[in-house]
Amino acid sequence: MFKFLIILLAVVLIMLSVFPLFSIIFKTNPSILFETLKDKEFLNAIYVTVMAAFCSTLISILLGIPFSYVMARYHFPLKGLIEALVDIPQALPHTVAGIALIMVVGRNFMIGQTFSKFGVGFVNTFLGVILAMWYVSFSIFVNAVKEGFRGLDERYERVARSLGLSFTQTFFKVSIPMVKREIVSGAIQMWARAISEFGAIAILAYYPKTVSILAYDRFQGFGLSSALGVTALVIIIFGSLFTVLRFIEDRWKRSESR
């Protein structure tokens, strides 16, 4: 009886999560989908979203792996506070995160002014989209990789050092390969989260438009029917992409654990 209840609850959860997605897809006229596919603004928004999410994930990989290693391996004062601070952007309303960012990189603020001297701007630029995506989602990557390093028995690294490898060689030949699952998994989750970002982007870099901004723009400006094409295609394109990535990741993990 209890087993049946568990299965039933699982089915309810699946229904609740997929029903809104499929209802949009099925309620959208295919001709609108084809029209949207030819829409240059939509195609550009797809490009901006994918590339900005990719760049923000890449930045997280470069900065997040060393940070996660330090957090997992070393003990130092205020470590708990630093970990909490890193998680804050994730917990904030993302519009608040966007306002916080604009207070730092905005044209009237010190860092923003410094960058603007070199012709680099963040407000309403592609860099701003990357920064907003990165800021609200990097902790997903960092936490996944940190758990990976925490779960890695330090003795593997000690054995490598005893065999004559330096700290750097050990890091690249033992530590990183042994947490590659967490790195890949964290990167996919972060990339997906970055793609879905709206609040921080809307505040910091409304332009160039990402798909989340474009869907909002169409909904606000022209109503629900106008936003349906963009929304349905975003669900189809990113839903399929994410599903394929998770499927590949899952197959890879299984083959690795065999």
Min CB(75)–other proteins separation in Å: 9
The residue (of 58 and 165) whose beta carbon lies closer to other proteins is 165
Min CB(24)–other proteins separation in Å: 43
Crossing angle of helices 126-151 and 79-91, in 10° steps, is: 130
The dihedral built from the CA positions of residue 129, 132, 134 and 137, taken in this order, carries a sign that is negative
Min CB(190)–other proteins separation in Å: 23
The region, left, alpha or beta by phi > 0 then psi within -120 to 50, assigned to residue 78 is left
The residue (of 27 and 173) whose beta carbon lies closer to other proteins is 173
Query: Looking up tokens 């568990």, which residue turns up?
Result: 6
Q: How many residues bind other proteins (CB under 8 A)?
A: 19
Min CB(69)–other proteins separation in Å: 17
Min CB(254)–other proteins separation in Å: 13
Cα–Cα dist 10/224, whole Å: 31
Is-contact 14 94, C-beta < 8 A?
A: no
Query: What SS3 state is found at 126?
Result: helix
Min CB(65)–other proteins separation in Å: 16
Q: Please, which of residues 172-201 interact with other proteins by CB under 8 A?
A: 173-174, 177-178, 180
The residue (of 99 and 176) whose beta carbon lies closer to other proteins is 176
DSSP for 136-183, please give it. HHHHHHHHHHHHHHHHS-HHHHHHHHHTT--HHHHIIIIIHHHTHHHH
The residue (of 166 and 240) whose beta carbon lies closer to other proteins is 166
The residue (of 157 and 197) whose beta carbon lies closer to other proteins is 157
Query: Looking up tokens 């975003």, which residue turns up?
Result: 234
Q: Please, which of residues 26-65 interact with other proteins by CB under 8 A?
A: none
Binding mask 141-170 for other proteins (x = CB under 8 A): ------------x-xx-xxxxxxxxxx---
Cα–Cα dist 117/101, whole Å: 18
Is-contact 208 48, C-beta < 8 A?
A: yes
The residue (of 3 and 256) whose beta carbon lies closer to other proteins is 256
Q: Which residues lie near other proteins (CB under 8 A)?
A: 153, 155-156, 158-167, 173-174, 177-178, 180, 258
